[in-house]
Amino acid sequence: MLIEKYKNFDDMFMNLNRKFLLHPEIITNIMSDSGYVENVVIGCKTSDCTLDLSTFGYTMGKWGHLLKTYINYDNLLNFYDKLHKVSGVSYTFYFNQKKVNNGSCLISVVLTRKARKGKWTGMKVFYRVTETQRRMAADLVMLNRFIKELPEDICDIQNVVFFCAQIYCSAKFINGFYDYFGVPRGKLDYSHKWINQLRKDYDKYFQPESKIHTFQTLARMQKLALGITRYKPIDINDLSIKGYFEEKGGK
C-alpha cells in the first residue's frame, strides 16, 4: 500500500511521477513498459492546479473528449441541485462508466461535510486505475474545474483524497516529456527492471535518428520530445465544464 500527501494537484502530479523515477521500489508489478502500484491513497491539502495539458501532448480537442467520456451534464446539474437538499454528510457523483474493455478509470467523487446542514468541505476521488505520467494530468485538470464550478453557496472544498486500486507509469511514454520532472537521467537506478526499460525505450525511440512509429500515441510522444510538433498552450482558466456543455446545448 502506498500513502502519499501533497500540497496541491501540481505537487501531486510532479512528485508522484518523480517517485516512480527516483524510487522505483514502490512498483509492485511490471507489465511490458508499465510499472504498477496497487492500493494507493493520496491526500492533497488543496485542489490548486496550473497544469498546461499541451505540455503532455494534448490539444483543446482532448478537453471535449474527456468531458463527453466522463460526464453526463443532466446528471451533473441534478447533482448540484441535490447538494442543497440531501441531509446526509456524504453525497456521490458517478462518472459515466464504459461497458467495454476494462471499464472507465475514474469511478466517482464523494463530497463530505461534518454537519448535516453545513457546507461540503471535502472530496474523495475513486479510481479503478490511472496512468500517472499523462492521463492523470488531464484528470486533475478536469477535477480542478469540477471543484471550481460547484455551487459556492453550499460548497467550500478544502482538501481532496484519492483512492486508487492501481496506478501505473509507462517507461516508454514518460520519455516524451521526461525533462518536465527535472530528474537527471544519471541519477536513475538502471539496475531496476522498469528504469532499465525506460532507458531502452529512450535509446530506441527518442533519439534524433529514431524512426517515427506508426503507433499514434508513441508517435505523438516522439514528436513532442524531438521538437517536431509543438502544441498551443492551454490555460486551465480557459477550460470550463459548464461552458463546454452549454455551448453544445447541454449535450
pLDDT score recorded for residue 249:
82
In whole angstroms, give the CA distance from residue 235 to residue 29: 35
**H or E stretch including 64?**
helix 60-70
Please give the pLDDT value at position 103: 67
pLDDT digits (tens, 9 = 90+) for 74-124: 999 999 999 999 999 999 999 998 776 666 899 999 999 999 989 999 999
What pLDDT digit, counting tens, does each position of 146-160 carry?
A: 999 999 999 999 999
Q: What is the DSSP letter of 96?
A: P
Q: Where are the domains of the chain?
A: 2-245
Quote the mean pLDDT of the chain: 95
Query: Are the CB atoms for 83 and 127 separated by under 8 Å?
Result: no
**Whole-angstrom Cα distance, residue 112 to residue 110?**
6
pLDDT of 107: 96
- Percentage of the residues of the chain whose pLDDT score is greater than 90: 94
Q: What pLDDT was estimated at residue 109?
A: 98
Q: Tell me how far apart the alpha carbons of residues 13 and 159 are, in angstroms, rounded to a whole number.
A: 16
pTM: 0.95
For residue 97, the model assigns a pLDDT of 87
Task: Say what the pLDDT of residue 104 is.
Answer: 83
Q: With contact defined as beta carbons under 8 Å apart, do 134 and 56 qualify?
A: yes
pLDDT digit string, tens, across residues 170-227: 999 999 999 999 999 999 999 999 999 999 999 999 999 999 999 999 999 999 999 9
Counting every residue written for the chain, the total comes to 251
State how far the Cα of 198 lies from the Cα of 49, in Å rounded to an integer: 28
User: Structurally, what CATH architecture does the domain formed by 2-245 represent?
Assistant: 2-Layer Sandwich (3.30)
Match 502544441 to its residue by C-alpha cell.
231
Q: What is the pLDDT of residues 1-45, one digit of tens each?
A: 999 999 999 999 999 999 999 999 999 999 999 999 999 999 999
